[in-house]
Amino acid sequence: MPQPLSSPQVPESLLRKSAAAEGGRERRNRARAETGPNPSAHTVPFDVEAKSCSSVLFDLLQTAPKEGMTVRSLIHALGERGLLMACMLFAIPSMLPIPIPGMSVPQGMIITLIGLGIVLNRAPLLPERLLEYRLPQASLFQILEKGARLFHRIEKLSYPRLLPITQGWVHALNGIMLVAGALILAAPLPIPFSNVLPAYGILFLAFGTLQRDGWLVLAGYFMYLLTVTYLAAVFVFGMAGIYRLFH
C-alpha cells in the first residue's frame, strides 16, 4: 500500500458504497422489524448508534489527526461500541500482507483484557500505559482502511439471528474464545498464517456479538477450529520430519 499523505483521503467510490449500503441496511432492518415474527429480536445490543461500523471507520479515515491516535482516543472515537470494535480493529494488523511492527503485544493485550471483561461481566481494566500507546498515522490509516472495506462487506450479510448463541452462558464462552485468540496473536509462533486464522476468528466473534448474529459467531468458532487443526498438523508433520532426519 502506498504511504498515505499527511491528510489521507478516502476514495470517492468507497464513500458512495458506504452511503448506498447504509440506506439499504436501514431499509432491510425496517422491513424485518415490520414483518418478522419477533420484531424485538431485530435489535443490536449496547444502545448502538445509527451508523454502521464501516461508516464509523470511514469517518475516522477523514478526521484522523496527523500525529496518529492513542488507544484511548481511538476507543473513545469508536463510540458506544468502542470495546468490541477495538477487538475487531486490533485483529486487523494480523490480516495485513505485511504485519505492523510492534503491534502483536498491544493488540493481544487489548483483546485479552476485553475478553476477560466479557467473561467476568464487567468493564475491562485497561492499563494506563496500554491506553497511551500511540498508533502512528501510517499504521492507523492502514488499519482503518482495511477495517472499513472488510466491515462493509460483512455488514451486507449480517443481521440479528440465532440469538441464543450470542447471550447467556454462551456469551461468556465467546469472551473466553476472544482471550484464547488474543493469546495466539501475541505468541511469537514462527509458523506462516498462525496469526491470520485466529485474527479472523476474533473478528467474526466480536462482530457477531455486537450484531447479535449467531452465524457470525459460529464462523468465528469455525476459524478457531481451523487454527487448532492447522497448528496440530504443523506440529505432527514437523515432529515426523525431525524424527526422519535423525533416524
Which one of 9-13, 16-20, 240-244 scores highest in mean pLDDT?
Answer: 240-244
Asked whether residue 170 is assigned to any structural domain, the reply reads yes
Asked whether residue 152 is assigned to any structural domain, the reply reads yes
Which one of 20-24, 44-48, 101-105, 191-195 scores highest in mean pLDDT?
Answer: 191-195
Mean pLDDT of 67-88: 83
Q: Are 25 and 17 in contact (CB under 8 A)?
A: no
Amino acid code (one letter) for 33: A
- Does pLDDT of 35 surpass 60? no
Report the distance separating Cα 54 and Cα 18, nearest Å.
7
Local structure of 135: helix, strand or coil? strand
Pull the grid cell for residue 157: 450479510
Which residue range forms the structural domain that includes residue 190?
12-33+49-246
161, β-bridge pairs: 213
pLDDT at 97: 63
Q: Would you say the C-alpha torsion 70, 75, 79, 85 has a positive or negative sign?
A: positive
CA angle 146/53/6 to nearest 5° reads 45
Asked whether residue 40 is assigned to any structural domain, the reply reads no
Mean pLDDT of 68-85: 82
Asked whether residue 199 is assigned to any structural domain, the reply reads yes
How far, in whole angstroms, is CA 26 from its chain's centroid? 22
pLDDT tens for each residue of 178-214: 999 998 888 877 777 778 889 999 999 999 988 889 9
pLDDT at 215: 93
Asked whether residue 115 is assigned to any structural domain, the reply reads yes
Secondary element (H or E) of residue 219: helix 214-246
What is the rounded radius of gyration, in angstroms, for the C-alpha atoms of the chain?
19
Report the distance separating Cα 111 and Cα 115, nearest Å.
6
Asked whether residue 145 is assigned to any structural domain, the reply reads yes
pLDDT at 244: 80
Domain count, the chain: 1
- Does pLDDT of 246 surpass 60? yes
Residue of 52, 48, 45, 49 whose CA lies nearest to 28: 52
pLDDT tens for each residue of 88-126: 888 988 887 666 666 777 888 888 888 888 888 777 788
- Does pLDDT of 42 surpass 60? no
Asked whether residue 44 is assigned to any structural domain, the reply reads no
Residue 2 DSSP label? P
Asked whether residue 187 is assigned to any structural domain, the reply reads yes
pLDDT at 9: 53
pLDDT at 226: 93
The whole-chain average pLDDT of the chain stands at: 77
**How many C-beta atoms surround the C-beta of residue 105 within 10 A?**
13
Q: What is the pTM of this model?
A: 0.72
What single string gives the DSSP state of each residue in 145-209? HHHHHHHHHHHTT--SB-GGGGSTHHHHHHHHHHHHHHHHHHS---STTTTHHHHHHHHHHHHHH
Pull the grid cell for residue 205: 466473534
Q: In the chain, pLDDT over 90 holds for what percent of residues?
A: 13
Report the distance separating Cα 220 and Cα 26, nearest Å.
25
